[in-house]
C-alpha cells in the first residue's frame, strides 16, 4: 500500500478534497494508495478534526518549538517518515521548507499554488494578479524543488479575472478549481507509479 502524508496549516479544504476523492474513487483498490496521515504545524488547525473524522491518523509538529527551520524540518521529516510515504502532499502548509527536507523527498513532494506558475510565486497571488491587470488567474500543482514555487508542473486550472474582483472573490473561484485539480494530479501520479 502506498502511503500519502498530507501537510496542512489551517482548515484543510484541499486535504479534504483529496481525502474525499481517495474514498470516492477507491484509491486503495485502484492505486493501492491511501491517505495514511495528516500532519500540521498548528495544533489548532481545523483540518486535523476533518482528517480524524475520516479515521486518518493526525499529528502536530509545532514549528514554534524549534530554534531553527532546520531543526523543525528534521523533526517533521522524522514524523513523516514514520508513515513510510510514497507521496508527501502540501495542502495549505504555510512553511518554507529547507533544501535538505526537499531533497529527502525529491520526486515525492507535491504542492498546490494559487497562481498560474511561473507567474506570481510567493504570497498575495490574487491581489498581484488583479494589480497586474491579468485577464486570467488560476492554480498550479507542481513538484516541490528547493526554489520556492518552482518545479515541474503537473496540472493547472484557469479561471477568469472578472471586473470588480477582489483578492477574496478571485481566491474563492481559484479554490474551487484547486479542489478539482489536486486530487486528479495525485491520482495521475499514482497511476504512473503502478
Point out the residues that are catalytic. 113
Three-state SS at 80 = helix
2 membership: H or E segment, kind and range: strand 2-8
| Rg from Cα positions in the chain | 16
Cell of 174: 481559484
C-alpha cell at 100: 535538505
- Pairwise CA distance, residues 107 & 144, whole Å: 8
Give the three cell numbers for residue 117: 506558475
Q: Residue 162: CB partners within 8 Å, gap ≥ 6? A: 169, 170
Amino acid at each position: 500500500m502506498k502511503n500519502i502524508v498530507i501537510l496542512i496549516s489551517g482548515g484543510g479544504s484541499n486535504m479534504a478534497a483529496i481525502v474525499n476523492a481517495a474514498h470516492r474513487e477507491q484509491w486503495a483498490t485502484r492505486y493501492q494508495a491511501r491517505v495514511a496521515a495528516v500532519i500540521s504545524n498548528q495544533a489548532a488547525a481545523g483540518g486535523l478534526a476533518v482528517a480524524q473524522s475520516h479515521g486518518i491518523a493526525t499529528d502536530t509538529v509545532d514549528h514554534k518549538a524549534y530554534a531553527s527551520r532546520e531543526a523543525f524540518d528534521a523533526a517533521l521529516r522524522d514524523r513523516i517518515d514514520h508513515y513510510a510515504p510514497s507521496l508527501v502532499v502540501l495542502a495549505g502548509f504555510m512553511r518554507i521548507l529547507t533544501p535538505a527536507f526537499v531533497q529527502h523527498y525529491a520526486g515525492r513532494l507535491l504542492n498546490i499554488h494559487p497562481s498560474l506558475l511561473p507567474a506570481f510565486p510567493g504570497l498575495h497571488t490574487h491581489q498581484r494578479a488583479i494589480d497586474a491587470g491579468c485577464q486570467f488567474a488560476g492554480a498550479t500543482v507542481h513538484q516541490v524543488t528547493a526554489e520556492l514555487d518552482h518545479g515541474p508542473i503537473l496540472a493547472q486550472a484557469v479561471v477568469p479575472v472578472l471586473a470588480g474582483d477582489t483578492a477574496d472573490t478571485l481566491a474563492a473561484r481559484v479554490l474551487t478549481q484547486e479542489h478539482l485539480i489536486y486530487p486528479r494530479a495525485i491520482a495521475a501520479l499514482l497511476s504512473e507509479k503502478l
